[in-house]
Amino acid sequence: MAPIKNGRLLFNDVPTGYPEPGKTTVYDESQTIDLDGMPLNGGVLIKILVVSIDPYLRDAMRDPSNKGYSAPFAIGEPISNFGVSVVLRSENAKVKPGDHLFGMYPFQHYAVFPSVDQLLLLKNEENLPWTAYIGVAGIPGQTAWTGWKEYAAPKKDDIVFVTTASGPVGSFVVQLAKLQGLKVIASAGSDEKVAFVKSIGADVVFNYKTTSTSEVLQREGPINIYWDNVGGESLDAALANAANGARFLECGMISQYNAAPYTLKNLMAIVGNSLHVHGVLIMQLLPKYRDEFYREVPGKVARGEIKYIEDAKRGLEWAGHAISDVQRGKNHGKSVIIVNEE
Amino acid sequence: MAPIKNGRLLFNDVPTGYPEPGKTTVYDESQTIDLDGMPLNGGVLIKILVVSIDPYLRDAMRDPSNKGYSAPFAIGEPISNFGVSVVLRSENAKVKPGDHLFGMYPFQHYAVFPSVDQLLLLKNEENLPWTAYIGVAGIPGQTAWTGWKEYAAPKKDDIVFVTTASGPVGSFVVQLAKLQGLKVIASAGSDEKVAFVKSIGADVVFNYKTTSTSEVLQREGPINIYWDNVGGESLDAALANAANGARFLECGMISQYNAAPYTLKNLMAIVGNSLHVHGVLIMQLLPKYRDEFYREVPGKVARGEIKYIEDAKRGLEWAGHAISDVQRGKNHGKSVIIVNEE
């Protein structure tokens, strides 16, 4: 077979505010690949099926001289994130053509990996769609599961406040809290999202764009557990309405990624209410919980015990738009790109 | 004996910035007391010997409609804080004249307490000065001891950063960390304070008014444990220079009590470096550690294993000045008022 195009989404320019498709990233089809003739040198040739679009990608889109919590993307190279691939050819005894692998992939159609040590073989006995493995049964679900288990320390009658509660992490947290019978206050950014969060069982759900977080928490709190994906004003309201000894699980601060830093007015509540604030970093927590997660969660999802929604776009050329949408909260459900059909 | 003056320091006016002696508080001698004839109704008459002046008094000097972490002072009433008294007369079988009691006292010379249940009998077998029991062997020492034991989780080769390191809490923390063989970076607000902190063993000591905290931490860090009495810019520098998994012990934010809130620029480090931020609230931790503390610490102090310095003023009429000095960092050593000699 003749070489075919290997479309890639390249990092093109460090954004100052929100990332812009076509400027921050460009879709490039100049590279070609010979799927049959490409030498593998003991490695594997994979076709990437799905990749995940997450808020934290913004962190890697920075000038490498600035500090961040993930490796910065290199200008001119494909951006990368978690995805699922299928093996086309293999010279590695551990995997065979047709196997599905979860891992960190460059945003392109095909790739040769010299080793599969960093990739996880997915058996998918529950027959979930592959996109589930980058959402509810992937890093977002694992973030919720491990963070909650490690830091939430839920007690009877605790009140939980979850932000971005229709997102893949937040909606999972809402359901974990409800499985434990706790009262859940949840915020989301549109009426459609609010409806979804209500449907998964949250007790008090509001659109933070039209309703004051601070007023809701004053009425429905004080809160014992705060799951923060937002930072800024929402964090400030949570600080002001935290119960003594409350646990704050800091998973992200998306309100701060594309704007000037917010000035917190209630930071002294950390001292005054003896709060416990923990940064939730999935890659550090995962080894402790990985086996348990893959043993329990795909089944729960298949049986409908954990619900999720997806916002899927077909075609890698739309990934730049999806990245921008996620930063602006325009997606509804876990944002994924379907790069290739099986 | 005829009634004598019972001088009191009254709360007079809610300050907007720094408290001002003569305005925020006024010393008043209009009240008299008949030490011999005063009916006790089953209680005790005490003479207050020493009272403690602490940064957190500022919190109680607020409009009661604003939230704080301590009970607000009432206008026209004496302010109150921890002190040591001696019993003059007692109708309570638990204490007798000459006994010394630690507890929360109004800022006045004499008082009748209907009960002694909230007061702690001090045996003082080590023969420490009474002021020690409101400093190194009082709430500040207990804050350092219990906070460190509960949250610091020190590991070999950890690097510790302590703010207000010449103060009664900070200097105790410095010594606890050095007793465990850790490298200690410490900040203080004058060259005299720096010299004291060096004398108690801190490895790197700097005057934060003349040296950039951020530069010191960049050179000497990253830090694993941060003891924060300051907040604001110092907290921001600690966030920027925190090691992965670092513990932040938030004990106070004195830079924020009399000023507009500082805008933190590095708050995302909580997520990115998986930090653990704990509010240290002594009254909640104390029950767990009280016995251990009184068993171990007065002896350590008497033997010189834990050193401290005091900034003592004689006369309750100077308490307003001492309060202002502590807010401005003008004291050098634990600020105490000697109200009466034995």
The dihedral built from the CA positions of residue B142, B145, B148 and B151, taken in this order, carries a sign that is negative
Instruction: Give B263's contacts in chain A (Cβ within 8 Å).
Output: 261-263
Q: Does B281 touch chain A (CB under 8 A)?
A: yes
Residue B329 pLDDT level (bands cut at 50, 70, 90): confident
Give the pLDDT confidence score for residue B44 in this predicted structure. 98
C-alpha A9, offset from chain centre = 19
Residue A69 pLDDT: 78
Q: Domain boundaries in chain A?
A: 4-135+309-338, 139-282
Percent of chain B with pLDDT over 70: 100
What is the reported pLDDT for A337? 98
* Residue B233, both tokens: 């810019």
Element (DSSP H or E) covering residue A24: none
Amino acid at A216: V
> What is the four-CA torsion angle of A80, A84, A86, A92, rounded to 10 degrees?
70
CB contact under 8 A, B271 and A261: no
Q: Cβ(B214)–Cβ(B152) under 8 Å? A: no
Beta bridge partner(s), residue B27: B9
Ranges of chain A with pLDDT below 50 = none
B258 touches chain A (CB under 8 A): no
**How confident is the model at residue A301, as a pLDDT?**
96
In chain B, what residues touch A256 (CB-CB under 8 Å)?
Answer: 267-268
List the one residue out of A54, A18, A70, A59 whose CA is nearest residue A170: A54
Average pLDDT over chain B, rounded to whole? 95
Of A68, A240, A279, the CB nearest to B270: A279
Peptide bond into A222 cis (omega under 30): yes
Which pLDDT band holds residue B252 (cuts at 50, 70, 90)?
very high
* Six-digit token string for A139: 């890093």
CB A150 within 8 A of CB A221: no
pLDDT of residue A43: 97
Q: At what angle do helices A282-302 and A139-147 cross, to 10 degrees?
A: 110
Q: What is the pLDDT of residue A259?
A: 85
Nearest beta carbon to residue B272 from set A69, A240, A264: A69
Q: What is the pLDDT of residues B179-234, one digit of tens each?
A: 999 999 999 999 999 999 999 999 999 999 999 999 999 999 999 999 999 999 99
Give the architecture (CATH level 2) of B4-135+309-338. Answer: Alpha-Beta Complex (3.90)
Does A325 contact chain B (CB < 8 Å)? no
Which of chain B's residues have a Cβ under 8 Å away from the Cβ of A240?
67
CA B77 to chain centre: 22
Q: Residue A20: its pLDDT value, please?
A: 96
**B320 C-beta neighbours (distance < 10 Å), count:** 25
Tell me the pLDDT tens digit for each residue of B63-93: 999 887 789 999 999 999 999 999 999 999 9
Query: Cβ(B103)–Cβ(B46) under 8 Å?
Result: no
- Which of A231, A267, A279 lies closest to B253 in CB terms? A267
What letter represents residue A272's amino acid?
Answer: G
- Please give the pLDDT value at position A193: 93
DSSP label at residue B73: P
Task: Check A270 against B261: CB less than 8 A apart.
Answer: no
B218 at interface of A, judged by CB pairs closer than 8 A: no
Nearest C-alpha neighbor of A105 from the set A129, A86, A89, A85: A85
Q: Is the dihedral of CA A145, A151, A157, A162 positive or negative?
A: negative
At B268-278, the pLDDT tens digits run: 999 999 999 99
pLDDT given at position B290: 94
The pLDDT, as a whole number, for residue B69 is: 77
| Cis upstream peptide for B222 (omega within 30°) | yes
**For strand B204-207 and strand B183-188, is the pairing parallel, antiparallel, or unpaired?**
parallel
Chain A nearest-CA distance from B43, in A, is 33
From the list B244, B250, B267, which residue is nearest A271 (CB)?
Answer: B250
Assign B2 a pLDDT band (cuts: 50, 70, 90): confident
Hunting for tokens 């003056």 — which residue is that? B5
CB-CB under 8 Å, B263 with A271: no
Rounded Cα distance, A163 and A148, in Å:
14
| Cβ-Cβ contacts under 8 Å for A214 (sequence gap 6 or more) | A236, A237, A240, A241
Which helix (H) or strand (E) is B253 found in, with range? none
Residue A300: Cβ-neighbour burial (10 angstroms; 0-12, 13-18, 19+): middle
CA torsion B9→B15→B21→B23, rounded to 10°? Answer: -80
Substitution target from A253, A270, A285 for chain B, most B beta carbons within 10 A: A270
* Contact state of B261 with A267 under an 8 Å Cβ cutoff: yes
Q: Is A277 strand, coil or helix? A: strand
d(CA A178, CA A200): 9
- Inform me whether the pLDDT recorded for B177 exceeds 90: yes
CA A118-A229-A140 angle, to 5 degrees, is 30
Q: In this structure, what are the phi and psi dihedrals at residue B295, rounded to the nearest 5 degrees?
A: -75, -40
Fold of B139-282: Rossmann fold (3.40.50)
Q: Which region holds residue B338: left if phi is over 0, alpha if psi is between -120 and 50, else beta?
A: beta
Q: B236, B250, B256, B288: which to substitute to probe chain A, counting the most A Cβ within 10 Å? A: B250
CB B87 within 8 A of CB B44: yes
B275 to chain A nearest CA, in Å? Answer: 5
ipTM: 0.87
pLDDT of A332 reads 85
Residue A39: exposure state from Cβ atoms within 10 A (0-12, 13-18, ≥19): exposed
